[in-house]
Chains A and B, each alone.
Chain A
Amino acid sequence: DVQMTQSPSYLAASPGESVSISCKASKSINTYLAWYQEKPGKTNKLLIYSGSTLQSGTPSRFSGSGSGTDFTLTIRSLEPEDFAVYYCQQHNEYPLTFGSGTKLEIK
């Protein structure tokens, strides 16, 4: 199985700041990485797939980059609604696997 290692597990920031979340795969997954946002009481929201393709409806302040084993989710100019838990997921091979999550909290 491809192991996905996310860091940091916890991140505190203020609205208006920019943050980055890292996701590393245990072997190359080409660019086949997705990012999700989890918020209480809401269904999980796909933000980005194939490394850098924004899902319809994802604000442009979100961006994804990387290939091979190293990937980054960047959120520019944080909005209050961005404080949530973020997960990466590789979609290169079965079994599909997720990272352990990053909780983004308001500082």
Chain B
Amino acid sequence: EVKLLESGGGLVQPGGSLRLSCAASGFTFTDFYMSWIRQPPGKAPEWLGVIRNKANGYTTEYNPSVKGRFTISRDNTQNILYLQMNTLRAEDTAIYYCARGHSGWFAYWGQGTLVTVSS
């Protein structure tokens, strides 16, 4: 069974940093592209970026809205996906999801972790 479990969310001050994790299980992690998606409460999802699979060199793509502030990485020995978020702003407040997607759609999502940026 495919499982994705995010962690690391919480309250952070504007300008601060946070690293989110997503523990993956139930599939061969290195075979799949992995994405981060966020959703402010009551709003639509926003795709943040993707890290490709082993066959595609684990390269990354980012949404221009977060490029330069957010970094996606993966630990393929422990099957963990990361999202490093820097210079956080109030508008970054959202539930953050990891999702498994290979051709641009997402068949598996985690339950999400809430990030609140506030002083």
Residues of A within 8 A of B (CB): 1, 32, 34, 36, 43-44, 46, 49-50, 55, 87, 89, 91-92, 94-101
Contacts and interface: CB of A to CB of B under 8 A. Distances in A.
A75 B25 CA distance: 33
Interface of B: 35, 43-47, 50, 61-65, 97, 101, 103-111
B35 to A, nearest CB: 8
A29 to B, nearest CB: 10
Give 3 closest A-B pairs by Cβ, nearest first. A91-B104, A34-B105, A49-B105
16 contacts: A32-B104, A34-B106, A43-B109, A43-B111, A44-B106, A87-B44, A89-B45, A91-B101, A91-B103, A94-B63, A95-B61, A95-B62, A95-B63, A96-B47, A96-B104, A98-B47
A97 B35 CA distance: 13
A21 B107 CA distance: 21
B46 A98 contact: yes
Interface of B is mostly: loop
Contacts of A49: 103, 105
A89 B105 contact: yes
A94 B52 CA distance: 13
Contacts of B35: 96
A62 B97 CA distance: 25
B47 A97 contact: yes
A95 B107 contact: no
A34 B103 CA distance: 11
A100 B62 CA distance: 20
A98 B44 contact: yes
B69 to A, nearest CB: 15
A99 B44 contact: yes
B37 to A, nearest CB: 8
A98 B40 CA distance: 13
